[in-house]
A and B are shown apart, each in its own frame.
Chain A
Amino acid sequence: MDIVLYAIGALLALALIFGAILGFAAIRFKVEGNPIVDQINEILPQTQCGQCGYPGCRPYAEAIANGDAINKCPPGGQATINTLADLLDMEPEPLDAEHGQESVTKVAFIREAECIGCTKCIQACPVDAILGAAKQMHTVISDECTGCDLCVEPCPVDCIEMRPVDITVRTWSWALPQPNHGKAGLIATDLRGQTV
């Protein structure tokens, strides 16, 4: 009988010790905020365009962390969806067409002759990529423009257009080789006698 009591006593003592350690660790190493939100935010393209229905990338990251769909980001496209699916261990889904189509990278361009200097686009730009002052001509810093489209709507004289970013010699890269249509996977001798 004694031996049972000793065992219970020893286990109780151990439980107390480990409980104390765990309790201490829970307080000492408490993580502020939700780290998964930061990780999701890191993957999102940071255009701050609001096409997902949230007022910026971070709010959408928070929404995803709370269980919203991961396919609402047209600027990120399928690549972002796949990376998010990978991170969150979900099945990648196609982009939700309701929020827009995946398109080539664009940047805003102000037709400067038509600009009246109203500063409305400057206020709309989420990344401060438009330069100008009241009654002065405005211009877009194209290197900083995320192509979010948000400056086009407020312009009273419609002098802002979205221009696709041209591929130059310096941004060009090789394309992946196209698989041979219908012939891929065949061994060379299989093609004998066929007109190639």
Chain B
Amino acid sequence: MNAIAKSPHQDIQSPVAGSQVIASSERKIWPLTGGVHPEENKHQSTSCPVSVPPLPETLVLPLSQHAGLPADPLIRVGDKVLKGQMIAKASGFVSAALHAPTSGTITAIENRPIPHASGFYDLCIILAADGQEQWCQLAPVTDYRQLSPAELVEKVRDAGISGMGGAGFPTAIKLAPGTAINTLILNGTECEPYITADDMLMREKADAVIEGAEILQYMLGAQECLIGIEDNKPEAIAAMRRAAAGKNIDIVVFPAIYPSGGEKQLIQILTAQEVPSGKLPADLGMVVQNVGTAVAVKEAIVDGKPLISRITTLTGDALTAPQNVEALIGTLAQDLLQYAALKASELSTLVFGGPMMGFSVDRMDIPVIKTSNCLIAATEDEFPAAPDAQACIRCGHCAEACPSSLLPQQLYWHARAENHEQLMHHNLFDCIECGACSFVCPSSIPLVQYYRASKGAIRTQEAKHAKSERSKQRYEDRLARLAQEKAEKEAKRKANAERAAKLKAAKTAEKTGSDAKAEEDPIQAAIARAKARKAAAAGASESTSAGQAPSASDRPLSAKQKELKVQLSMAKAQAKKTERALAAAEASAELKGDRGDIEQLKSNLAMLHEQVSKLQQAFDEKAQDSASKNNPEKPAKAPLSDEAKKLKIESAMANAAVKKLQRAIASAGEDELDTLKQQLVTAEQKAAEMKQALEGLS
């Protein structure tokens, strides 16, 4: 299959052997595998020199203009910034800083539409220009050879430079590859139709490109430097040759073919070496940089200026004045298109980038970023809607056009079947998405979109798998942790139990040592102690009850009597408490000079005392009564128990009254005295009832 792919297809590919004569370079060049010749459409935008559009009022600066992590804002809303001031720093290794393209005020940091195929919004810094164009302090380097390459790389990093060719990989990383570099290749190919930004740059800033190339060569320690340019840019070639005269830099011209500007394709054309799958050019001792990047590096080192503007091609039939402009990063597409005299009624598609690899956007308030090399405002005739895809007829044109020697047709089938394993087997990730296969497809199958979608799906799945691996690890770690915690708890519990047992043993040992006589076990001793206590209590009760109720002294009280006794003792205790509370109330009342109520309280308390004494009497009588009646026979208990019940209820009521009174007095305050009085009245009533009941009983 490789042989077929490499054999030149006359309809698509130019005869490379013949064009070597045109190249007129002393250096040998090699043919590109595959490739196509789309209509160039470059002449429209090269008729006038690069101009500088007027300063826009607002600049929208996406934090993610490069491959890798988005930058980290250093400013706040409302801050005033100077031109060239760093407003966002690189947030990681693969990241790039962002600088203010002009002086002004930060008005917002918010989500805005960005130039991206998804059409999504992303975080942007919004800068309102103040028109002063006031630069911040710059630190130009007069002689870069005084600095070490590492210091220069740091300067490039601080200048926020990322690849200007389209991929936007942070340049500083490419300049510190960690392997020995022999060859620096500057990419002035610009193979994609319509785009002329690098062409104009080389025409107008050839000296800057060469100076940048020398700085890059010094930084990388590369012995040779090649600048590859397609032969369709004669003015640029002439300017570059002039600038490079007498320098150790080779301008290599080769026939135009798309996609010669791909990094790996350019290496193949200039050196005949193929970068192996999954490897980088640095592994072959080569570094490829865009010519625009070289100029940005020169400006960063020699002038000290960060990357704040770039040359962008404005083209397409919907523009009256297609041209190249030096646009500030963050200028909105609508401002630039207006500057190039857009015929709004004719605009049908707005494309960021070239027609082969760019993407269309559906709005014009999208900013130009570091990678935006071209804006195509196309009419309907220019970019007609893609025809419907037909069935693949297996013609094999795609395989012949593929610059990466892949099998696009096989990839297409497997992409349709979502067979990721087979896609990987067919090296899907070596596809550079150049679009040559779609371009030649007679069935108009959007092949590249299939590959892009499959790449995305595979990446998503890999991310998912990586996450599930991590989840598994975390889950297992958690189980291990729980098991360990459980084991620790168990061990602690065991240790505690052992210690307790030891302490117990020590105690018993002590006891047996001190009390040699008591050799029985502790339970027996405890029983003996309890018995002794009971006996003592019995003796005491005998002595107290002897005077009051001699008849009841030699046997226990009945259950009813016991209850009555308990009630009585409780009433006594509460009366005592009431007394104490009264004393406290008296003390507080004395301070307030209000004694009338206290007197009343006192009299009431006296009545309560009377009740208690009467209750005591009733109990004593009952005790004698029951003692005398209980002695002969049991049936006499029934009427007695009735009376006892009544008495119990009465005493309970008295208790409640006393309790209420106690509570009221405890919280006695001036404002509560009224309610207190009422409570006392009810207590009195209850006391009266109690009296009656007691009278009845007696």
Q: Which A residues contact B (CB, under 8 angstroms)?
A: 41, 44-48, 56-57, 79, 126-129, 144, 146, 167-177, 179-180, 183-188, 191, 196
Contact = CB atoms under 8 A, between A and B. Distances in A.
Nearest to B451: A174
A169 B122 contact: yes
B672 interface: no
Nearest to B392: A185
A186 B114 contact: no
B474 A177 contact: no
A196 B472 contact: no
25 contacts: A41-B472, A44-B468, A45-B468, A46-B468, A46-B469, A46-B471, A46-B472, A57-B475, A79-B461, A127-B471, A128-B478, A128-B481, A144-B470, A146-B467, A168-B122, A169-B122, A170-B64, A171-B460, A172-B118, A173-B456, A174-B452, A174-B456, A175-B453, A176-B453, A188-B390
Interface in B458-506: 459-461, 464, 467-472, 474-475, 477-478, 481
A41 B468 CA distance: 10
Contact of A187 (B387, B391, B468, B472): B391
Given A174-B456, A176-B415, A47 B471 contact: yes
A122 B478 CA distance: 11
B457 interface: yes
A173 B389 contact: no
A24 to B, nearest CB: 34
A128 B116 CA distance: 36
Contacts of B390: 185-188
Contacts of B452: 173-174
Given A180-B388, A187-B390, A128 B117 contact: no
Interface in B154-179: none
Most chain-B CB neighbours within 10 Å: which of A79, A176, A179? A176
Contacts of A173: 452-453, 455-457, 459-460
Contact of B475 (A56, A170, A177): A56
A169 B453 contact: no
B474 A129 contact: yes
Interface residues of B, dominant DSSP: helix
B389 A180 contact: yes
Contact of A176 (B393, B450, B464, B468): B450
Interface residues of B, number: 41
Contacts of B464: 45
Nearest to A187: B390
Contact of A127 (B389, B450, B478): B478
B449 interface: yes
A39 B475 CA distance: 17
A180 B444 CA distance: 12
A75 B391 CA distance: 35
A195 to B, nearest CB: 13
A75 to B, nearest CB: 9
B446 interface: yes
A47 B472 CA distance: 8
A183 B457 contact: no
A170 B454 CA distance: 16
Which of A45, A46, A126, A170 gathers the greatest number of chain B CB atoms within 10 Å?
A46
Contacts of A56: 475
A129 B473 CA distance: 12
B535 to A, nearest CB: 53
Interface in B402-433: 415-416, 418
Contacts of B393: 187
Contact of A146 (B116, B388, B443, B471): B471
A57 B454 CA distance: 28
Contact of B450 (A57, A146, A177): A177
B114 A169 contact: yes
B471 A144 contact: yes
A144 B471 CA distance: 7
Nearest to B446: A177
A171 B64 CA distance: 13
Contacts of B460: 171, 173
A174 B450 CA distance: 8
Contacts of A47: 468, 471
Contacts of B120: 167-169, 172
Given A128-B474, A146-B471, A174 B388 contact: no
